[in-house]
Structure 1
Amino acid sequence: MSDANKPPVTSATRPPAERRSDASEVDAFVRQARAMAKAGQAGGRLILALDATMSRQPTWDLACELQGQMFDAVGNTGRLNVQLVYFRGLGECRASKFVAETGSLKKLMTSIQCRSGQTQVGKVLSHALKETGAAKVDALVYIGDAMEENIDELAEKAGHLGLRGVPAFVFQEGHDAAAERAFKEIARLSKGAWFRFDRSAAATLSRLLSAVAVFAAGGIKALEARGRPEDRLMIEHLRSRKSP
C-alpha cells in the first residue's frame, strides 16, 4: 500500500507516546515510598530492663507474667516492639532483639537464672541512649530493688534520655532508701515516673505497666483515648515532668 492510500493516524490508532518522569515526580514517588515503609513499620519501641541479681529471684516469675500483659494491653493502639535487657553476676549485661509478640520474650525470660552481683543501671541507661540514637525508643521500663552506683553519673545519662524523649518508668521493689533516691532522680530527669513494685499489689502494677505499654505504642493521645484510671495517672505524671 502506498503512503497516499494509508489511513490517517488518529489519536485512537496512534500508540501512546513513551512518557518520561521528571525530577519532581521521582521525588514524589520516593517520598510516598518512604511514607509507606514507615507506616508498615509503625509501632512503639519499648525497652524492658530488669535487675537479675539474686535478690530479685522471688519476683522474677511475676515480672515474666506482667511483661505478657504489657503486650496484651496495647490492643488496637498499635504494634509494640519490646527489647529485654537484664544484668546479673560479674558485669554481665545482655540485650535481646526487639520482638513484637509475647511468646519469644517470655521464653527468654523464663530461661534466665538470677545470679549474685552488683547493680549495672548505668549500662542500662547507656544502652537505651545507644538504641534511641539508632532508632527512636519511646520508653524505658526498669524494675529493680537496689542501687550500688554513683548517682551523679546515672543522673547525667538520665538527663540525656529526657532530652532524647525517652522517659524512664522505674518500678522499685522493696523500700531501700538509697535505691529510692536514685530511682526517683532517674525518673525525674528522664521525664518519666517512679512507682513501687509491690508483689502484693500485682493487679495495680499490671495496670500501670499496661499504661506504659499503651504510651510507648501510641503516646499520650493513646492514653487519653483509652481513658482508664491508670492512663489518667500516667498522663498526670508525664505532663508534670514537662518543662514549663
Structure 2
Amino acid sequence: MTQRDDRTAIDKARQAGAAAPVEQSRPGEIDRFLGAAKQLAPLATGTAGRLVFALDATMSRQPSWDLACSLQGQMFEVADRTGGLAVQLVYFRGFDECRASGWVGEPRRLTGLMSRIDCRGGQTQIARVLRHVRDEARTVPIRAFVYVGDAMEEEIDTLCALAGELGLRGIRGFLFQEGDDALAGRAFAEMARLTGGAHARFDVNAPGSLLDLLRGAAAYASGGHEAMRRLSDTSPAVRGLLGAMKGR
C-alpha cells in the first residue's frame, strides 16, 4: 500500500467512526479493535478541549490498563465544568501494532472500547505515538496528550526531537509513569520538559494517584492553567503538575 493509499484508508476510517492506524498497519492486525471501534460515532466537539489519551498496552501493563479503563470516565466529569472534553485513544502492543480511535465525547464509549482491548507482549512505540499527535494536530486543535507507561525501549534523542516539535506547537505532554524504572523516568521527564508539560509517577495499587493525575491533565485540556489551578486547591497531585509546568 502506498503512503497516499494508506492516508486515504485512515480518512475513510475516521469518517466512519472506526479506528485508524497510526502510520502503517500490518494486514490482519487487531480485528477485535476494529470490531469495537465500529461502535464509535463521529463526534461534534464544538468548543470542547481535545486530549490524546495514549497508553502502553504491552503485556506488563495489564493491571494499569484495567485501572486506566476504570478511571478514564472521571476525566470527562472534571472537564465538563470547563467546556467539555474530546478524547482520542491511542495505544500500542504486540509486534508493530499501534492504533488510534476516533474522537470520543462520552466516557461510556471510551470505556466500551478500552474494555475490548487486551495487553500483548512487545516493545514500546512511543515515537509512533508522538508522531501521531503531531500529525493529528495538523487537522484538529489539540491542547495536550497523556501518556501512561512503565518503560522506554527506544532512542531517547528521537523521542526528544518529536517532543520538542509538540512543544513548539503548544501541545503539552503529561507523562505518567508506573513504577520506578530509571531510564523511563529520565526519558519521560525530558519529554515533559520539552513539551512544557509534566512528568509524574503513580502506583497501580493506589488508584487515587492515577485518578488525580488524569483529572489534572483533563482540566488543562479543557480549561488551561486556570482550570488546573482551581482543581489544585483540593488535589496535591494536581498542584505538583501545575508546579512542574510553571517551572519550565
TM-score (norm: length of structure 2) = 0.78
Distance between the aligned counterparts of 1:154 and 1:59, measured in 2? 23
1:89 shift after superposition:
0.7
Identical amino acids, percent of aligned pairs = 52
- 1:132 and 2:134 aligned: no
* Aligned-partner Cα distance in 1 for 2:241–2:56: 23
Pair 1:228-2:228 in alignment: no
Q: In the alignment, residue 201 of structure 1 is paired with which amino acid?
A: A
> 2 CA distance for matches of 1:57 and 1:102?
20
Query: Which structure has the bigger radius of gyration?
Result: 1
Matched, 1:105 2:110: yes
Q: Could you tell which deviates more after superposition, 175-184 or 105-114?
A: 175-184
Residue 239 (structure 1) aligned with residue 243 (structure 2) = no
Q: Which of 58, 62, 68 in structure 2 is aligned with 1:57?
A: 62
- The offset of 1:143, in angstroms, is 0.4
Q: Tell me the amino acid that sits aligned with residue 194 of structure 2.
A: L
Structure-2 separation of matches of 1:210 and 1:65: 13
Alpha-carbon distance, 1:196 to partner: 0.7
Equivalent residues in 2 for 1:1-244, closer than 5 Å: 41-226=46-231, 227-229=233-235, 230-241=237-248
- Counterpart CA distance in 2 for 1:51 and 1:207 is 19
More helix by share: 1
Q: Is the 8 A contact 1:48 1:82 kept in 2?
A: yes
Deviates more, 1:204-213 or 1:145-154: 204-213
How far apart are the structure 2 equivalents of 1:123 and 1:188?
19
Would you say the 8 A contact 2:168–2:195 is kept in 1? yes
Root mean square deviation, CA, Å:
1.6
1 CA distance for matches of 2:118 and 2:64? 12
Displacement of 1:187: 0.8
1:232 maps to a residue whose letter is R
Closer, same or farther: CA 73–116 of 1 in aligned 2, 3 Å = same
The Cα of 1:115 is off from its aligned counterpart by 0.7
Structure 1, unpaired ranges of 5+: 1-39
Q: Give the secondary structure class of the aligned counterpart of 2:137.
A: helix
Counterparts of 1:176 and 1:119, CA distance in 2: 14
SS at match of 1:98: strand
Counting matched residue pairs gives 203
2:206 is paired with a residue of what secondary structure?
helix
Amino acid of the structure 1 residue aligned with 2:84: R
Write out per-residue CA displacement over residues 121-162 of structure 1, whole angstroms, 9 at most, x where no aligned residue.
000000000111211111110001111100000000000111
Cross-structure match for 1:15: none
Whether contact under 8 Å (2:202, 2:209) holds in the other structure is no
* Maintained 8 Å contact 1:143/1:197: no
Equivalent-residue separation in structure 1 for 2:226 and 2:179 (angstroms): 32
Q: TM-score, normalised by structure 1?
A: 0.79
